[in-house]
Amino acid sequence: MQKSQEWQPLLGLLSVGTVLVAAIVIGYFAGSWIDRRLGSEPWGIVTGVLLGTAAGFFELFRMVKKLGK
């Protein structure tokens, strides 16, 4: 096995956590922007975080399934 192929699974696992956190943060900022535009505090942030969390877990499961092959 080449050295680059040895590191590939580890890098994939490290990126799983990063993707989850990034999705939640993006959801937070999108919800915050919506709250500022519509004056709907805190519902935009709540919705954004929940959607970001769902998207992050969806991507997490997809990445883990791909790494398991």
What domain count does the chain have? 1
The band of 2, judged by pLDDT with boundaries at 50, 70 and 90, is: low
Residue 31, in any domain of the structure: yes
- The three-state (H, E, C) secondary structure of the chain, written as one string: CCHHHHHHHHHHHHHHHHHHHHHHHHHHHHHHHHHHHHCCCCHHHHHHHHHHHHHHHHHHHHHHHHHHC
Residue 7, in any domain of the structure: no
Q: What is the pTM of this model?
A: 0.78
pLDDT of residue 29: 97
Residue 20, in any domain of the structure: yes
pLDDT of residue 4: 65
Residue 51, in any domain of the structure: yes
Residue 48, in any domain of the structure: yes
pLDDT tens digit sequence for 24-36: 999 999 999 999 9
pLDDT at 39 exceeding the cut of 90: yes
Residue 1, in any domain of the structure: no
Domain residues for the domain of 49 are 16-68
Residue 27, in any domain of the structure: yes
